[in-house]
Amino acid sequence: MLATFMTDTTKPLEEDPRPDGLRRAESLVLVNTGNGKGKSSAAFGVMLRAVARQWNVAVLQFVKSGQWKVGEETIGLQLGVDWHTLGTGFTWDSENLDHDIALARESWAQAATVIAAGKHDLVILDELTYLCTWGWIETADVVAAIVNRPKHVSLVITGRDAPQEIIDVADTVTEMREIKHAYAAGITAKRGIDY
């Protein structure tokens, strides 16, 4: 809502743009989508804020492989985050997509259980949108888990092409738009920046 009021960013605001009747919510659902870089990175920023507030946090990653050594997992584990790397890696590297689909369904079942248990104040569902858009899991099941979650459980969902049904039940949706990317210039992923 605030961004809607900030259409002219070339000069400072002179009036308070916040809507009347602001209220607190027990939890929120955030979606980071779009073709630009930063969806997961933004989610991990929220993870750090939550940990700093003494929240119990869980991260479930649906594409990244447990064999990848990523910085966010290293620091998350050091901070006591309940971390689950459930994927097998990039689909183009797969030798058996049927196995990957079965694993995705098992992974979603695990995530739904984590959400419903209510033991975590924040659950990050990293790369979840891909499973929905590829048809590997039912988007309706994801929406049901979001809508029926315990009232105190906030969620962050990341991935390109977020289904409209998930966008509709989210509180905040941010679309990351690629303007320029190092990959396009032939630069490989950089440790500390990309992973």
DSSP-assigned states of every residue in 37-50: TTHHHHHHHHHHHH
Structural domain contains residue 69 = yes
pLDDT in tens, 168-188: 999 999 999 999 988 888 988
* More confidently predicted of 185 and 139: 139
Flag whether pLDDT at 64 surpasses 90. Answer: no
CATH number for the domain spanning 68: value is: 3.40.50.300
Pairing of strands 82-87, 172-175: unpaired
- 149 contacts: CB under 8 Å, gap ≥ 6: 27, 115, 116, 118, 155
- How far is C-alpha 127 from the chain's CA centre? 6
Please name which of 126, 144, 133, 129 lies closest in space to residue 61, comparing C-alpha atoms.
126
- Specify if 181 maps to a domain: no
| Residue-level pLDDT at 18 | 84
Q: Give domain status of residue 172, yes or no.
A: yes
pLDDT for position 1: 46
Q: Which structural domain, as residue segments, surrounds residue 104?
A: 26-176
Residue 21 lies in a domain: no
Please state the domain count of the chain: 1
- State which H helix or E strand residue 110 sits in: helix 97-117
- Taking only the tens place, the pLDDT of each residue in 157-167 is 999 999 999 99
Going 194 to 82 to 46 to 113, the CA torsion angle's sign is positive
For residues 78 and 72, give the distance between their C-alpha atoms in angstroms, rounded to a whole number. 10
Q: What is the CA radius of gyration of the chain?
A: 18
The answer to whether position 105 is within a domain reads yes
| 79 contacts: CB under 8 Å, gap ≥ 6 | 48, 51
CA distance 161 to 110: 23
Residue 6 lies in a domain: no
